[in-house]
Amino acid sequence: MEILAILIPVSLLLGGIGLAAFFWAMKTKQFDDPDGDAQRILTKDWDDRPKP
Amino acid sequence: MTVVEDFGRAPVSACPACAVVPSAERIAALRAERDGQRDGRIMLSLPLAHCAACISTVEGALAAVPGVRSARVNLTLKRVSIDAAHDVTAANLIAVLAREGQEAHELDPGLLSSTETDRQGRDLLMRLGVAFFSMMNVMLLSVAVWSGAEDATRDLFHWISGAIALPTVIFAGQPFFKSAWASLRVGRLGMDVPISLALILASSISVYETWMSGHHAYFDAAVMLAFFLLLGRYLDHRTRAVARSAAEELAALEVPRAIVLEDGVEVERAISAIKAGDIVLVRPGARMPVDGVVIHGASEVDRSLLTGESLPVAAGEGTLVSAGEVNLTGPLTLRVTAAGKDSSLHRMADLVAVAEGAKTRYTSLADRAAGAYSPLVHLLSFSAFGYWMWATGGDLRYAINISAAVLIITCPCALGLAVPAVITSASGKLFRKGLLIKDGTALERLAEVDAVIFDKTGTLTLGMPEPVALTDHPAEVLAVAAALAAGSSHPLARALAAGALADGVVPALVQDIREVPGHGIEGVWNGAPVRLGRADWCGAEAVPQTATYLRLEGSTHAFAFTDRPRPGAAEAVAALQAAGMRVELLSGDSEAPVRELAARLGIAHWQAGVLPEQKAARVAALSAEGRHVLMVGDGLNDTAALAAAHVSISPATALDAARVASDIVLLGQDMAPIADAVRIGRQSTKRMVENFLISGGYNVVAVPLALVGMATPLAAALAMSLSSITVSLNAMRLR
């Protein structure tokens, strides 16, 4: 059962990373335009290099 | 911005629509603020944008304009926001987009900022995310306990669960605690009181049990409860936020400004700054901003939004005009007799407020369910506590455990989702069909409708005239008429020119074409003067229909017009009649066009020349017969009837006041969705009732278990998640 001492903190840590990513996404307005983001992936602009 | 705050579960205002549509005062305040801090940010509405190519076209075209720093399209809201230098104007950019084939309208960024930073929605979403994270982690630990963890391991798992769950319940439960406290303070038992009680009781009992190394802890139930209920609340919030942002957009399209003449100099002013006695200039095509008397100029005015008359009325010096009328042909200078709150536009809006006040507030299904539910749950929980105190001879710990289990199991997870899930699903469907639901209870009210009253001008018709039997006229006459008509922006002239063009008429060579405001157009053809315009000006005898007249070499010709019905109007009327509804047509217009349209659409009951009060009275009379009336109208003369009706629909082209008074806004031109709306309304009410039955059914099975003390945390978790999932799936079944 000693393995729990590692597994539980690990699972909490992983979940916590997910939560932090969610917070970041909220703060940077990633959910403001779901339709547009779904369409933008189809455009050919900036395919060869990132948008400056 | 402070406007967001009072939106959530705040006390219901007397007029639900007011919460959705920004009031005139607020618009004025926001605009003033915007004018103070003009920062070169331009917002355009893109009603036609729908694909990836549209995004690249719009962004590419705008980025190529000198002075534009950045442009970003938001496809969800169909808007583009542009950061540009001060000398770049919206009109410029609209022209650029028009060349690319994209329709664009300027929006007022000051009015829209409140939607963009929708803090309340983000706040709910944040709590939802936290609750989801905790639910998953606690559930992981709980599964270990349920599958047989013993002694120290179980206690450790309970402690870790508690360490995750307690902060979560405190953070995620705040919306419920706040609203429960608010309803307790005014002495009511809202839905949030048992919810808060269950959250608090479940958490504290579990801490105590963990402390005592007990077998059962309800941490998972507490966070799951918070998660599902937040989900329902978020859906509810989003439906309203979408409706509100669209309503704001409609308001932002209208610019309440007027041109004031001060010592002969034209100055643009906000309408709120205009006083009686000021001199105001109204250009052709503009709406009268105030009530006034014409002191200079001649023109024709379109009163259809105020009275329902489809024929323009001549206006010259001394004519009284009211706010809301549209100036058609020549510039008019007015002396203001009443502005702002005193204007006839505002008095009509007050009529609406009176009608709203008189309307008994509709108790929605959810309200009725909550009203029956809260006392019952408290009663059950307390009697379980009392019984087990007596039966066990005062075992407080056991009795509290049982009563907590009862509260948790009966807690309205499914009940909280039952209505929002259906409304979200239904309003999403209707939005795609072009109907915007402003009020959640509108769907339920729509389901009860058994009589429909339509307005004519601008509602069943487009308010755009269409020439009839053009080819009956000699080719020469048509050619001259087409040439003259092309020289004017009067609606009849434009319709005539378009009709002639469609019939392949080549305009004659008419010279010296000039418009005589308020009368018509004249020119010289083959050396003789020709005129197109009003009957008396052309020396023609007036015909009973809407018509314009041509004077040509001593003879006169009348071109009759009919108002084109909206696309889908006939289908909507037929579908409503097929559904067994009484359909009526009430119009302020004269008898001939009303009778013609009624015959064309197959409406048996119609009335012409109806005054605004008579429309409202007809609605009241039908309601007194026990009917539930759906009113569809667009003009100021309909607003009182719209407000008095059981449920009301107005097209997006309607006046502000009419849109405020109605529950549903028709966004497109097509009327056919109205029949769909009634069908979907009936269906969604059925789904809501089914959802209540489903969640009630789970309780019927689970509550007796809880009462006899056989409910384990596992049973509670199963009942809760199963009922929530079934309810959501049932809501998706809407067709």
Considering the domain architecture, whether residues B544 and B656 belong to the same structural domain is answered as: no
Look at residue B315 and tell me if it is in a domain. Answer: yes
Minimum-distance CB partner of B140 among A11, A26, A43: A11
Contact B130 A42 (CB under 8 A): no
Asked if residue B653 has pLDDT above 90, the reply is: no
Asked if residue B169 has pLDDT above 90, the reply is: yes
Considering the domain architecture, whether residues B432 and B500 belong to the same structural domain is answered as: no
Q: Are B348 and B627 in contact (CB under 8 A)?
A: no
Asked if residue B559 has pLDDT above 70, the reply is: yes
Instruction: Find chain A residues with C-beta within 8 A of B130's C-beta.
Output: 19
Contact A15 B160 (CB under 8 A): no
Considering the domain architecture, whether residues B516 and B643 belong to the same structural domain is answered as: no
Asked if residue B22 has pLDDT above 50, the reply is: no
Asked if residue B45 has pLDDT above 80, the reply is: no
Q: Which two tokens stand for residue B38?
A: 């003009």
List the CATH number of the domain containing B37: 3.30.70.100
Each residue's pLDDT tens digit, B577-616: 998 889 999 888 778 888 888 888 888 889 888 887 788 8
Instruction: Nearest chain B residue to A33 by CA: give it.
Output: B76
Q: Which two tokens stand for residue B166?
A: 């307690």
Residue of A6, A13, A14, A19 to mutate when probing chain B, most B C-beta within 10 A: A19
Query: What is the DSSP secondary-structure string of B367-397?
Result: HHHHHHHHHHHHHHHHHHHHHHHHHTTS-HH
Query: What is the DSSP secondary-structure string of B454-506?
Result: E-IIIIIEEEEEEE--GGGS-HHHHHHHHHHHTT---HHHHHHHHHHHHTTPP
Q: Are B46 and B58 in contact (CB under 8 A)?
A: yes
> What is the nearest CA distance from A50 to chain B, expressed in angstroms?
15
Q: How many domains does chain B have?
A: 4
- Domain of residue B515: give its range: 465-562
Each residue's pLDDT tens digit, B505-529: 788 888 888 877 777 888 888 888 8
Q: Which two tokens stand for residue B6?
A: 């009072």
Rounded Cα gap, residues B358 and B612, in angstroms: 17
Considering the domain architecture, whether residues B626 and B532 belong to the same structural domain is answered as: no
Helices (H), chain A: 4-27, 34-40
pLDDT on residue B392: 87
Rounded Cα gap, residues B79 and B279, in angstroms: 37
Rounded Cα gap, residues B312 and B159, in angstroms: 78
Asked if residue B679 has pLDDT above 70, the reply is: yes
> Binning pLDDT at 50, 70 and 90, where does residue B38 land?
very low
The stretch B641-658 carries a mean pLDDT of: 79
Considering the domain architecture, whether residues B548 and B662 belong to the same structural domain is answered as: no
Q: Are B284 and B491 in contact (CB under 8 A)?
A: no
Each residue's pLDDT tens digit, B46-96: 767 778 888 888 888 888 888 888 888 888 777 888 888 877 777 788 888
pLDDT on residue B252: 55
CA distances from B169 to A21, B226, B309 (A): 21, 7, 60
Q: Are B631 and B453 in contact (CB under 8 A)?
A: yes
> What is the nearest CA distance from A45 to chain B, expressed in angstroms?
8
* Burial profile B526-561: b = 16 or more Cβ within 10 angstroms, e = fewer: eeeebbbbbbebbebeeeebbbbbbbbeeeebbbbb
Each residue's pLDDT tens digit, B255-288: 466 788 887 777 777 676 778 888 888 877 777 8
Strands B582-586 and B451-454 come out as: parallel
List the CATH number of the domain containing B498: 3.40.1110.10
More confident residue, B10 or B203: B203
pLDDT on residue B21: 42
Rounded Cα gap, residues B477 and B470, in angstroms: 10
Asked if residue B110 has pLDDT above 70, the reply is: no
Asked if residue B368 has pLDDT above 60, the reply is: yes
> Which burial class, exposed, middle or buried, applies to B327 when counting CB atoms under 10 A from its CB (0-12, 13-18, 19+)?
buried
Look at residue B87 and tell me if it is in a domain. Answer: yes
Considering the domain architecture, whether residues B102 and B19 belong to the same structural domain is answered as: yes
Q: Are B120 and A17 in contact (CB under 8 A)?
A: no
Rounded Cα gap, residues B213 and B159, in angstroms: 10
Residue where a domain terminates, one of B317, B342, B367: B342
Strands B511-516 and B68-74 come out as: unpaired
Look at residue B367 and tell me if it is in a domain. Answer: no
Contact B75 A35 (CB under 8 A): yes
Give yes or no for B64 touching A (CB within 8 A): no
Instruction: Find chain A residues with C-beta within 8 A of B55's C-beta.
Output: 36, 39-40, 43
Helices (runs of H) and strands (runs of E) counted in chain B: 26, 26
> Binning pLDDT at 50, 70 and 90, where does residue B171 land?
very high
Rounded Cα gap, residues B198 and B217, in angstroms: 14
Contact B76 A42 (CB under 8 A): no
Considering the domain architecture, whether residues B663 and B532 belong to the same structural domain is answered as: no
Considering the domain architecture, whether residues B596 and B510 belong to the same structural domain is answered as: no
Give yes or no for B63 touching A (CB within 8 A): no
pLDDT on residue B24: 47
> What is the nearest CA distance from B159 to chain A, expressed in angstroms?
12
Each residue's pLDDT tens digit, B456-488: 877 888 777 788 777 778 888 888 888 888 777
Q: What's the CA angle centered on B39, arms B34 and B41, to 5 degrees? A: 90
Rounded Cα gap, residues B608 and B371, in angstroms: 45
Most confident stretch, B18-22, B220-224, B557-561 = B220-224
Q: Which residue has the tokens 């360490």?
A: B163
* Burial profile B84-119: b = 16 or more Cβ within 10 angstroms, e = fewer: beeebebeebbebbeeeebebebbbbbbbbbbbebe
Considering the domain architecture, whether residues B506 and B448 belong to the same structural domain is answered as: no
Rounded Cα gap, residues B686 and B681, in angstroms: 9
Look at residue B386 and tell me if it is in a domain. Answer: no
Considering the domain architecture, whether residues B584 and B672 belong to the same structural domain is answered as: yes
Active site residues of B: 455
The stretch B622-628 carries a mean pLDDT of: 89
Average per-residue pLDDT for chain B: 79
Each residue's pLDDT tens digit, A12-52: 899 899 999 999 988 887 877 777 888 888 887 777 888 77
Each residue's pLDDT tens digit, B285-323: 777 878 889 988 888 887 776 776 767 778 888 888 887
Look at residue B299 and tell me if it is in a domain. Answer: yes
Residue where a domain terminates, one of B90, B117, B144: B117
Q: What's the CA angle centered on B421, arms B168 and B118, to 5 degrees? A: 60
Look at residue B265 and tell me if it is in a domain. Answer: yes
Considering the domain architecture, whether residues B456 and B575 belong to the same structural domain is answered as: yes
List the CATH number of the domain containing B608: 3.40.50.1000
Residue of B124, B133, B223, B227 to mutate when probing chain A, most A C-beta within 10 A: B133
Look at residue B336 and tell me if it is in a domain. Answer: yes
> Binning pLDDT at 50, 70 and 90, where does residue B167 land?
very high
Residue where a domain terminates, one of B69, B96, B117: B117
pLDDT on residue B170: 93
| Helix, strand, coil share (%) of chain B residues, nearest 5 | 55, 20, 25
List the CATH number of the domain containing B316: 2.70.150.10
| Per-residue 3-state assignment (H helix, E strand, C coil) for B406-454 | HHHHHCCHHHHHHHHHHHHHHHHHHHHCCEEECCCCHHHHHHCCCEEEE
Q: Are B71 and B38 in contact (CB under 8 A)?
A: no
Name the B residues in 25-54 with CB < 8 Å from any A CB: 51-53
- A34 contact partners, CB below 8 Å, separation of at least 6: B76
pLDDT on residue B32: 47
> Binning pLDDT at 50, 70 and 90, where does residue B162 land?
very high
Look at residue B387 and tell me if it is in a domain. Answer: no
Considering the domain architecture, whether residues B481 and B595 belong to the same structural domain is answered as: no
Q: Are B491 and B327 in contact (CB under 8 A)?
A: no
Each residue's pLDDT tens digit, B404-429: 888 888 766 677 788 888 888 888 78
